Chain A
Amino acid sequence: MKSSKSAYSEPGKIGKIDHHIIVVWVDNEAGVLARVVGLFSGRGYNIESLAVAEVDKRKHLSRITIVTSGTPQVIEQIKLQLKKLIPVHKVADFSRNDPKILFQELALLKVVSTKKNQQKVKKMCKKYNPIILDRSKKSFVIQVTALRREIDRLIENLRPLGLVSASRTGAVAMTKGAEVFK
């Protein structure tokens, strides 16, 4: 009795937290992103990254990819709450470890450093489909595509070698094989 002065109940046990990638197909209309993002912030859900763009010009459909984390109950709520939004057409939920799903994120990295370090950087990016988009004497901009955690790690490793700026798209996802998510 004395211990609780709250008008609310005490928090219950918390389940195991997992990473999920939520894909939402929405009508590309004014305010739709605010609705989706507002749902996450309003209900205390987490957004680690968010990628959005129109994918069907004729039908005005956009595809939003959100990387989030939460207990199984929270992930279930996220899906069910999203489905209640009027402009939402469908919602897919993929676990980060799902082998049937492709996850990719694109990053642009600007490196300013000596020739020697520039060489090192290029070597470290080799695994991640590197494309040099711009170069000057002292610098270059390189594009890589990889998993989120790979880019996380790469950025950490490149910092001492002259990485001055990083821009990332956030993860996008797609099913493997001939299947499409209905």
Chain B
Amino acid sequence: MSKLFTGAEIVFKCLEDQKVEYIFGYPGGAVLPIYDELKNHKSIKHILVRHEQGAGHAAEGYARSSGKPGVLLVTSGPGATNAVTALTDAYMDSVPLVCISGQVPTHLIGTDAFQECDTTGITRPCTKHNWLVKDVNELSKVIHQAFKVATTGRPGPVLVDIPKDIQFKKGKYIFKDSKQKLNGIKNKKLNIKEIDQLIKMIKNSSKPIFYTGGGVINSGPEASKLLRELVSLTGFPITSTLQGLGAYPGDDPQFLGMLGMHGTYEANNAMHDCDLMINIGARFDDRITGKVDEFSPKSKKIHIDIDPSSVGKNIKVDLAVISDVSHLLKALIKRFKEKNKDFLSSNKQKTSKWWSQIEKWREKKSLKFKNSETIIKPQYAVQRLYELTKNKDTYITTEVGQHQMWAAQHYKFNKPNRWMTSGGLGTMGYGLPAAVGVQVANPGKLVIDIAGEASVLMTMQEMSTAAQYKLPIKIFILNNQYMGMVRQWQEILHEKNYSESYTAALPDFVKLAEAYGCVGIRATKPSELDQKINEMISVDKPVIFDCVVDKNENCFPMIPSGKPHNQMLLGEDDEEEEISEEGKILV
């Protein structure tokens, strides 16, 4: 007879066989047997967070910067509900997470027991799949399947809910690769006809554009290499979604910058006027398309995606290829090279008019801003941060708001997995705990959270985690004292009624840093910015950098909602009047 193990032992045996090195968690009554077992498994390190949402975002940061699934461990009831925001965030941005939650003992389920909640019910719509394990002999199979579901096809979060009695009970441990179908085709055999049609469309186009997204990053570093090869083989322009940044070098002349609501003038106009759009691993979401009826009206559209339900959801396309990005690109490039030896030079003529049009759009310099000698402009701060960190292999996370968009616009990424931001859910409070996870996965690397002062207060407690594990993350706050993005919408769309978007009693971030045992730095003048950023980089401790910036700056360009891509606001010279201190608090 095979050896029997307790449920808690089985959990760790699974994690070991899945080669898990870190779990982010927080203990409680319903997971105590698992915590008790932790000491016997030295290869697995537990990072104690300060809030379960923090565990979730840290696991996301870990996963997105390492390409491995993130694991979190939470207790029943409030532990599980606190993790829901992070699970939903991971679901929207396709991040592989495995959440293990404790549950009240099976005989108490349904009795409104202490710290009972319907965890699988609550998390059903925000996970790819979840399981409530009621038989200890099923536990190993379920946990291994959970890893498989999280990491195959379009990645995403899963949850395994384990009642406390199951953690104590003894059962068999089984580990074999399950051959069960997992509803995410990894490497479907590609149809050569589809590839040939794709190549034909590429050859027929005179106004082409690549539109790439997070799917390229999720497909692994190989996909980014292949993308670069394809773009240089064709000589076509390329734009990227927020999540796709880094898959293609941000400083390359063929790159038009990010597209979408706060994308560049050239990227959005090229998307609108192109005759061929090649979507690789993006999902035509509403921040990209604007008004769907007027979205790129004259183009043929190709959509390459691993998730069949992404195709045709928002925008009809002419050719859909369901595939992992690397897999498709490899086959496409091979076939393309065989058939078109000299494509780049022979096709130059055909796209030259298109490129000169793009150059005209570029001349608008849509990311420009009026700099100041006396006050730090937030865009300038991001630009300086980029210049002073670009030669290091820097990892950037963000919170949500104007600072996030300025980071996306002005920080140029050269590698995949260096940019972690909450795009789909737009979760304020994501960046700080995500930075914790990124630093855990990448010791010795420079990890910076470009933050807003409002967002960062939502998960500030994780500074304590950073201090405990000596994770020298840098929290670079663009402090405009406003929920800037809200203020901007109110200014433009709600007659400047700045309802509740001003934070009247902000903490002193320098003292706050010190209270956590970290380092606080403040910059208020453009002239001191470089020196203070350098100081931040050189400190081998967690830092909160309070960068006091212009309160009234707006983020442009901007496509107002419900408008097509070629009707952008560029925001030149709309100088607004000062708002009185009193007014800010009252209105």
Contact = CB atoms under 8 A, between A and B. Distances in A.
A18 interface: no
Given A31-B120, A86-B128, A9 B289 contact: yes
Q: Name the residue in A3, A5, A9 with the highest tally of chain B Cβ atoms < 10 Å from its Cβ.
A: A9
A7 B493 CA distance: 10
Interface stretch (B197-205, B307-315, B358-366, B537-545): B307-315
Nearest to A6: B561
30 contacts: A1-B493, A1-B563, A4-B561, A4-B563, A7-B561, A8-B286, A9-B289, A9-B290, A9-B561, A9-B562, A12-B293, A13-B293, A30-B132, A31-B120, A31-B124, A31-B132, A35-B124, A38-B124, A42-B125, A73-B312, A73-B313, A76-B312, A77-B313, A80-B308, A80-B311, A83-B308, A84-B183, A86-B129, A86-B182, A88-B183
Contacts of A38: 124-125
A82 to B, nearest CB: 9
A98 interface: no
Contact of B494 (A5, A8, A80): A5
A3 B132 CA distance: 48
B121 interface: yes
B291 interface: yes
B560 A4 contact: yes
B183 A34 contact: no
B489 interface: yes
B44 interface: no
A115 B255 CA distance: 83
A80 B286 contact: no
A83 B289 CA distance: 26
B184 interface: yes
A13 B493 CA distance: 24
A102 interface: no
A35 B131 CA distance: 12
Given A1-B560, A5-B494, A10 B183 contact: no
Contacts of A80: 308-309, 311
A147 to B, nearest CB: 31
Binding site of A, secondary structure by majority: helix, strand, loop or mixed?
A: loop
A81 B493 CA distance: 36
Given A35-B124, A84-B183, A86-B183, A77 B291 contact: no
Nearest to A80: B309
Q: Name the residue in A8, A12, A38, A88 with the highest tally of chain B Cβ atoms < 10 Å from its Cβ.
A: A12
B292 interface: yes
Nearest to A78: B309
A128 to B, nearest CB: 39
Given A10-B562, A30-B132, A83 B292 contact: no
A31 B124 CA distance: 9
B486 to A, nearest CB: 10
Given A35-B124, A88-B183, A9 B489 contact: no
B26 to A, nearest CB: 26
Contacts of A9: 286, 289-292, 561-562
A83 B290 CA distance: 28
Contacts of A30: 132
Interface in B250-300: 286, 289-293
A4 B182 contact: no
Question: Chain A, interface size: which category?
Answer: 20 to 34
Contacts of B149: 86
- Across the A-B interface, give the 9 residue pairs with the lowest CB-CB distance, nearest first: A80-B309, A10-B562, A12-B292, A4-B562, A86-B129, A12-B293, A42-B125, A5-B493, A9-B286
B291 A12 contact: yes
Nearest to A73: B312
A5 B293 CA distance: 19
Question: Chain B, interface size: which category?
Answer: 20 to 34
Contacts of A1: 492-493, 560, 563
A31 B121 CA distance: 8
Q: Name the residue in A3, A34, A42, A84 with the highest tally of chain B Cβ atoms < 10 Å from its Cβ.
A: A84
Interface in A30-83: 30-31, 34-35, 38, 42, 73, 76-77, 80-81, 83
A3 B561 CA distance: 10
A83 B183 contact: yes
Contacts of B563: 1, 4
Contacts of B128: 84, 86
A6 B562 contact: yes
Contacts of B120: 31
A52 B339 CA distance: 53
Contacts of A5: 493-494
A12 B308 CA distance: 22
Given A77-B313, A86-B183, A88-B183, 11 more contacts: A3-B562, A4-B562, A6-B562, A9-B561, A10-B562, A34-B124, A35-B124, A38-B125, A84-B183, A85-B129, A85-B183
A55 to B, nearest CB: 19
A10 to B, nearest CB: 4
Interface string A121-161: 00000000000000000000000000000000000000000
Nearest to A83: B183
A167 to B, nearest CB: 28
Nearest to B494: A5
A10 B128 CA distance: 29
Contacts of A81: 309
A35 B125 CA distance: 8
Contacts of A77: 309, 312-313
Contacts of B560: 1, 4
A28 B286 CA distance: 36
Contacts of A88: 183
Contacts of B489: 7
Contacts of A10: 291, 561-562
A80 B489 CA distance: 36
A91 B311 CA distance: 18
Given A9-B290, A9-B561, A84 B494 contact: no
Interface in B127-164: 128-129, 132, 149
Contacts of B494: 5
Contacts of B183: 83-86, 88
Contacts of A8: 286, 561
B398 to A, nearest CB: 19
Contacts of B307: 84
Contacts of A3: 562
A40 to B, nearest CB: 11
A3 B563 CA distance: 11
Q: Name the residue in A38, A42, A80 with the highest tally of chain B Cβ atoms < 10 Å from its Cβ.
A: A80
A7 B426 CA distance: 13
A22 to B, nearest CB: 14
B582 to A, nearest CB: 27
